[in-house]
A and B are shown apart, each in its own frame.
Chain A
């Protein structure tokens, strides 16, 4: 249906309002100029100097934001609450992690061509699915394909039989749980519960160099911007409107002659691929990937990022991810015992008192002042219109 629309590029440009482009330009300025300058040019004593820790934290949060926007697409615009998005994120991370493991070369503890954990397991050769993992491009392709194909197959069966609502949520949770168990096993060939770590290089360049960290953070920012622009284009297109209609009244849309399966499957798979890319960028920055990333708790946390930011908006999830993760960084250092209380309360209070999230609330306030803009109607509060059966 995307193809039916004429002149896609101008539409792409027009989809994001001018204020949005200005904000994006400012963001580019910060990430591409100010951040590198402050890290590389300013002396460490300067109050404006940022440490490697901060650069990595920013890069990490940007990756989370991409995941949140991807989640916001399926939940806010298609009404599909996935509790398994951590799986796609981790799969992307693992796919790229394989490349990073191969880049260690003979510098591991055992000085073998094989990754350390394989030497430890006394494996003599790489398993078949590790073939080609020394190629950067193949790793990137895998990071896209693996989450994409799994999402496509799973989504096809789930949407075809019209599994929706809490059914779908719980089954995605079971999916990521099962995958986590699988990856915990040493025999699976992904390092068991230690996962991948001790990365050394990307494309031959040391991974811990400040320039590399800035580059990765910059790429994360680029991915986030692309995601936001494309998502904006998508949700304002005819496709996006049908998607929202499916969310609000699936049966009615079917009676009108649309096939919801295709619409849902596309956004679902796209979302998984975005998560995979974010995971691939995330792993070199944090330097580790292990099966705990696939735990159901991690996936459900993504939902709260979206809820805090605002469902049915695109910027909201990105902001929500940033806000919750900054809070997490602060809490787990200052009051580790209270983080779970805070997170739990966040889940309860946001759903009870802030159903539109931060962005939704802000939009609501602006609308109250009587200068209601026509840019985008607030959507997302209408889950209840369709009683789940």
Chain B
């Protein structure tokens, strides 16, 4: 790959002619920078620059250094970016009049971009003091606006949009003259408006305020609000038109904040809802089929989460290269592990208590105590350390201040997939048919040949397996510890109660509704009060609809 860029063609400002020397004026050369700090420029080419431009950088005097930085920046923006970045990161070294960029093993000549085999013995680091560093940073911020990589330019423009000083105005103007990408332009406009808010000219201020109305940045809001403050008797902003525009801009920004806030709440509500759904789906099935509440359901989540933990450990030990995929491997394992534990519980305890629902409650509570204590003895009482795989960390920025974390997005999708899978099993397979039949009328199902007891075990195992899947999801966003499942039994039961027994659609609606309602109430009233309000709401809800949102149709004898 040989991207060849002729500096002379791409320059904004004419290149300063080199002080006559034996160096080639423009050396065309492909360079692949390996250092990670400069990885943004990988693949781009650069031209050599005159050593005279660089010599000022090593001057002892700060003023001289600053002058050199500025000269370099205006003369050779593209190459200057590389050198100044290196300087800012303390990677620049001086060896016998030659400036070198030293990053780990890789050594390059700053002037030519030629790679060197090793660092010369007499190399000395070029240092910058704080004053120079400030100047360096602001120059770099401006320079990045002209980086060849569009992503870097956009990032730089965004950074300026959220913190541009009037001093950066010339940079911004020049970048605006050249920028084509609409997103980049929008950010630059914002940056310009921000920087020119303190302009002498009322017209400039007016247009700046109007532009800033389109921002959703909290710092912009403060800036605009600053226009409306009174300084003693007089307004900071003398011009009434600008003040009116500022007030209007403030309203627009606030509206955008509100929107962002609401969106964030809805998203965290959906995220909470999908966790609730994963926890409640299994409970809905077992409760629907057998009419019993398995108090150890939360501990089945825990089993799933610990399976994930063990899978991660195994991957780290045996397949370190594929450790990012341990979560995927954990999904079937957690399902099987939890399903197995569930089937054992059903065989050993639950089925012997058939028809004695309250005793089942107590017995399964006993099982949950045993499971918790067993995990505590085996793994210790502390929380386990699980790391998100790389593809689940980070997030998507929808708008400034609203970042949706990938792990939560993945969990919402995961919940949808599990839901689709379980619906398919319930609707399309014979097993699902049997489960629905037993849920609706156990005696009649038994009469027409459905093996009800075997269906009990299978349904219990499936419900437990789904809880295990919920455990995988939980392990990616919360703590994994012996007590992690305890809080979920009440919440998932409430989902089942509100949704209606034996109804997947009801569980989905109830989980999402409860999740979103909880998050909104939390914003208004705090987490504890929100929990109490939700509980009161549910008690009142049952008054109206004791069967939940979706009542099963069919013939029932209510005892």
Contacts and interface: CB of A to CB of B under 8 A. Distances in A.
Interface of A: 75, 79, 81, 83, 154, 157-158, 160-163, 165-167, 169-171, 173-175, 177-178, 181-182, 184-185, 249-251, 296, 300, 303-304, 307, 337, 340-341, 343-348, 351-352, 355, 383-384, 386-389
Given A352-B349, A384-B355, A347 B559 contact: no
Interface in B366-385: 366-370, 372-374, 376-377
A158 B532 contact: no
B293 A166 contact: yes
A251 B558 contact: yes
A219 to B, nearest CB: 31
30 contacts: A79-B358, A83-B361, A157-B539, A160-B543, A166-B292, A166-B293, A167-B542, A170-B490, A170-B497, A171-B538, A171-B542, A173-B490, A174-B490, A182-B532, A249-B559, A307-B359, A307-B362, A340-B372, A340-B376, A341-B369, A341-B373, A343-B369, A345-B366, A348-B366, A352-B349, A383-B356, A383-B358, A387-B291, A387-B355, A388-B291
A161 B528 CA distance: 26
A158 B539 CA distance: 7
Contact of B542 (A81, A161, A389): A161
Interface of A is mostly: helix
Contacts of B543: 157, 160-161
B531 A388 contact: no
Q: Which of A166, A167, A355, A386 has the largest count of B CB atoms less than 10 A from its CB?
A: A166
Interface residues of B, number: 48
A171 B539 CA distance: 8
Contact of A170 (B293, B354, B368): B293
B352 interface: yes
A163 B362 contact: no
A174 B366 contact: no
Interface of B: 291-293, 349, 352-363, 365-370, 372-374, 376-377, 486, 489-490, 493-494, 497, 527-528, 531-532, 535, 538-540, 542-543, 546, 556-559
Contacts of B372: 340
A173 B487 CA distance: 11
Nearest to B539: A157
A252 B81 CA distance: 88
Given A182-B532, A300-B365, A344-B369, A169 B358 contact: yes
Contact of A337 (B293, B377, B557, B559): B377
B493 A170 contact: yes
A173 B368 CA distance: 16
A340 B381 CA distance: 13
A224 to B, nearest CB: 24
A75 B360 CA distance: 14
Contacts of B557: 389
A340 B559 contact: no
List 7 A-B pairs, minimum CB-CB distance, nearest first: A347-B366, A384-B355, A344-B369, A344-B370, A340-B373, A348-B366, A344-B366
B363 A347 contact: yes
A360 to B, nearest CB: 13
A352 B358 contact: no
A181 B530 CA distance: 11
Contacts of B535: 171, 174-175, 178
Interface of B is mostly: helix
B358 A81 contact: yes
Contacts of B489: 170
Nearest to A304: B362
Nearest to A341: B373
Contact of A250 (B356, B494, B559): B559
Contacts of A169: 293, 358, 361
Contacts of B370: 340-341, 344-345, 348
B359 A165 contact: no
B520 to A, nearest CB: 18
Contacts of B359: 307, 351, 355, 383
Contacts of B363: 347-348, 351-352
Nearest to A175: B535
Given A174-B493, A251-B559, A348-B349, 15 more contacts: A154-B539, A162-B546, A166-B361, A170-B489, A174-B490, A178-B532, A181-B528, A344-B367, A344-B370, A347-B369, A348-B370, A351-B353, A351-B363, A384-B354, A387-B355
Contacts of B374: 341
Given A161-B546, A170-B293, A343 B366 contact: yes
